[in-house]
């Protein structure tokens, strides 16, 4: 598949998943902010790796596991949003994006003046 088209599909999947997770947060995970930080789809459109950032949640792995267990429900909602624009909808795999947590940890270290993580 053309790289530009693949980027457009990734962007649209990311946008639609963000909307789906906004509704899920209102229904099932009240008080949880879902951010779809990135979507990477294979060239043959068979697999999509979705990175999620979750805030403020103590047990983030529990929500990621729920997403992976209910990915058929999420994929169903995604298919309805695409309305037949894609011939094949990729299988979804959800991963925890820990970049925000790492950034918060670095900010905390810098503000407190603790030991530098860079030696």
Average of per-residue pLDDT across 88-94: 92
Question: pLDDT tens digit string along 7-44?
Answer: 999 999 999 999 999 998 888 888 888 889 999 999 99
Confidence (pLDDT) at 88: 86
Range from 70-74, 81-85, 93-97, 105-109 carrying the lowest mean pLDDT: 105-109
Going along the chain from its start, the domains and CATH numbers come out as: 3-112 (3.30.300.20)
Confidence (pLDDT) at 1: 63
3 state SS for the chain: CCHHHHHHHHHHHHHHHHHHHHHHHHHCCCCCEEEEEEEEECCCCCEEEEEEEEECCCCHHHHHHHHHHCHHHHHHHHHHHHCCCCCCCCEEEEEECCHHHHHHHHHHHHHHCCCCCCC
pLDDT band at 82 (very low <50, low <70, confident <90, very high): confident
């Amino acid at each position: 598949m053309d790289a530009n088209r693949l980027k457009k599909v990734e962007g649209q999947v990311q946008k639609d998943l963000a909307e789906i997770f906004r509704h899920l947060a209102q229904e099932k995970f009240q008080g949880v902010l879902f951010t779809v930080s990135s979507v990477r789809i294979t060239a043959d459109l068979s697999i999509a790796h979705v990175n999620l950032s979750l805030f403020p949640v103590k047990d983030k792995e529990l929500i990621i596991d729920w997403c992976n267990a209910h990915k058929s429900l999420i994929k169903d909602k995604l298919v309805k949003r695409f309305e037949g624009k894609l011939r094949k909808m990729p299988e979804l795999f959800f991963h925890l994006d820990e970049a925000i947590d790492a950034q918060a940890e670095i900010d905390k270290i810098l503000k407190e003046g603790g030991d530098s993580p860079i030696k």
